[in-house]
Structure 1
Amino acid sequence: MLKACLKNFLYIVEHKLNVMVECWKLGLYLQGIQHDLSKLSPVEFFPYAKKFFAARELSKEEQEKWQLAWRHHQRKNKHHWEHWVIDFDSKKAAPMPRKYLLEMVCDWRSFSRKWGKQVKNHHLDLSEKIILHPDSRRELMDIIYRGKDGDSSSSH
């Protein structure tokens, strides 16, 4: 388990650095620093370590703890669209503030930094698969497709 914990910690640090780079490009300095800090909390850290780095099947109890950790992460972190969902059944969501939409896109872009590929806008467009308030959906499309994210390079 110690090896799984170390791997998880290194993964979290690398992810946070990648997101921080993307956030800082947009002037989201504090968000870049605070991004995903909940992953270091015991309720998330240990279930994540077991799920992704223990190299074995999870028991039923461990799977339940993982599900709780994932829900905790989504609800604790405002850059996750799930945080803003009022009712999953009716697909109703509260408006997501722009700074969290931007952080969400930075989170998505960070994965390209890890895998060494340039993100294409069509890879970011998860808007049909996620529940967003109509105003937030329009703003997300502006950020992704019209370069209205404050990034002067607009080369994403």
Structure 2
Amino acid sequence: MRGEAKRRGPLGRFWGHLTTITYHKWLVFCYCRRLGLVRQGLCHDLSKYSPAEFWVGVKYFQGDRSPNDAQRKAEGCSTAWLHHKGRNRHHLEYWIDYDPAGTGKLIGNEMPVKCVAEMLCDRLAASRVYLKEDYTAASAWEYYQRGRDHYILHPNTRALLEKMLLLVRDEGEDKALAIIRREILRR
């Protein structure tokens, strides 16, 4: 798909990026709705349509991975990602700040449960979008495992996210989402 996106030219990258982010947003909405988080699903990733994120996404669109990775490799950082993570509470990076104890270390602050649930939906949808027919109930867990050691997360947030990801992996989406809605979000 990567070569195909380049062969399509700017207009092809425009439509490819627009349809990819819209499909991702639709999947997140569907997952969030199943958890009873309709408003979060509707508002999810609206910043991806802002000029600061959208046009970078078009420029670096490949179709099989995030354009943020490509911008990071080409330019040394992803301005689209820096814009995105600072505006979307479902990203763990939104919650990173300096330790108030004055250690100078960065720490992860505890995320609200609804934000962790939206993060789960985001990870499931991204796995579906990029893996396509290779997606399994274990895909989001496997992706998380690859980066787990460098994530800066509050211990309670880490435990909750891992619990949710493992539920999906072990029970499948339908059963896991029902359990999360009934037992975790209803508290």
Q: TM-score, normalised by structure 1?
A: 0.79
The letter for the 2-side match of 1:142 is: K
Deviation at 1:75, TM superposition (A): 1.0
The answer for the alignment partner of 1:14 in structure 2 is 23
Identity %, equivalent residues: 31
Query: Deviation of residue 151 (structure 1)?
Result: 6.3
AA matched with 1:143:
M
**C-alpha deviation, 1:103, in angstroms:** 0.5
Matched, 1:118 2:118: no
Alignment of 1:68-147 (within 5 A): 68-87=79-98, 90-114=105-129, 115-116=132-133, 117-120=135-138, 122-123=141-142, 125-126=144-145, 127-145=148-166, 147=176
Structure 1 Cα separation of the partners of residues 128 and 16 of structure 2: 18
**Paired residues of 2:71 and 2:78 also in contact (CA < 8 A):** no
Please list every run of 5 or more consecutive structure 1 residues that lacks an aligned counterpart in the other structure: none
Contact 2:60 2:71 in 1 (8 A): no
Aligned equivalents of 1:17, 1:59: Cα separation in 2: 24
Counterpart AA for 1:16: K
Counterpart residue number, 2:7: none
| Cα distance in 2 between the residues matched to 1:106 and 1:124 | 14
Deviation sequence 1:45-79 (CA, Å, 0-9, x none)? 0011111249xxx899x736x71111111111111
Q: Greater shift after overlay, 76-85 or 110-119?
A: 110-119
Contact 1:25 1:151 (8 Å CA) reproduced? no
SS at match of 1:150: helix
TM-score where L is the length of structure 2: 0.67
CA contact (8 A) 1:94 1:132 kept: yes
Change (3 A) 1:150 1:51: same
Alignment gaps of 5+ in structure 2: 1-9, 64-69, 168-175
Q: Which structure carries more helix by proportion?
A: 2
- The 5 Å alignment of 1:52-71 reads 52-53=61-62, 63=75, 67-71=78-82
2:79 & 2:89 partners in 1: Cα distance? 17
